[in-house]
Homo-oligomer: A and B are copies of this chain.
Amino acid sequence: MSNFSAPDFLKQLKWRYATKQFDASKKIPQDLWEALEDSLILTPSSFGLQPWHFFVIENLELREKLQAHSWGQAQVTECSHFLVLASRRSVGEEEIDQFLKHSAKLRGEEIESLTPYRDMMSGFIGHMDESQKAQWAKLQTYIALGQLMTSAATLGIDACPMEGIDANEYDALLGLPEKGLKTSVACALGYRAESDKYASAAKVRFEKDQLLTRL
């Protein structure tokens, strides 16, 4: 069920673009920002394990330090809200336990009743080596990035996803290794500057028949 019309929704997806210049004077209103935070938290993940942590960088001095490790891109300091998506360096029995305990509490279930689910998760994750686990966790953060950008577009907020960042330097500045986290990707959010010429450039997508096949 939905009250949203498909044409209106697609209009939002077409309106979005990777914003190069933000209007530094325009801030995302608190209620809309909280909605974006909620959409991040609500992001689906494999088994529901949520192997991530999100950092909202408000401090301008810290943003300037991060900018130095982001090819100097202006978005880091000019956007309204700068977000760093981090993934867990590893996922193991401890994280599974923590998740199941939380799940049992929320759903009023006995944790023992979740044993088959635990076994399934342990089996899936136990098959991966450390590097694969980190990679798997990173993949999940890209679902969050996707949900975030779609949510922002739906709510009329501009965004610029940023892969061109030095993850190791970000890690050091944010103290992530000691938290068991690593920088995955960043996203600048706010409102486009009127002077951003990319706003009016034609969107470049391959034709549907080049990207999609029905079998």
Listed in ascending order, the chain A residues whose CB lies under 8 Å from chain B are 1-4, 6-10, 12-16, 18, 31-32, 35, 37-44, 46, 48, 50, 52-59, 62, 99, 102-103, 106-107, 124, 135, 138-140, 142-151, 154-156, 161, 163-164, 174, 201-206, 208, 211-215
Contact = CB atoms under 8 A, between A and B. Distances in A.
A213 B135 CA distance: 22
A103 B215 contact: no
A9 B215 contact: no
Contacts of A124: 164
Contact of A212 (B9, B53, B59): B53
Given A147-B149, A204-B107, A14 B42 contact: yes
A139 B139 CA distance: 6
Nearest to A138: B139
A44 B206 contact: no
- Of all A-B residue pairs in the complex, the 3 with the closest CB atoms, nearest first, are A146-B146, A2-B156, A142-B142
Which of A55, A58, A143 is most buried by chain B, counting CB atoms within 10 A of its CB? A143
A214 B53 CA distance: 11
Contacts of A205: 41-42, 48, 50
Nearest to A153: B2
A46 B212 contact: no
A156 B103 CA distance: 25
Contacts of A41: 205-206, 208, 211-212
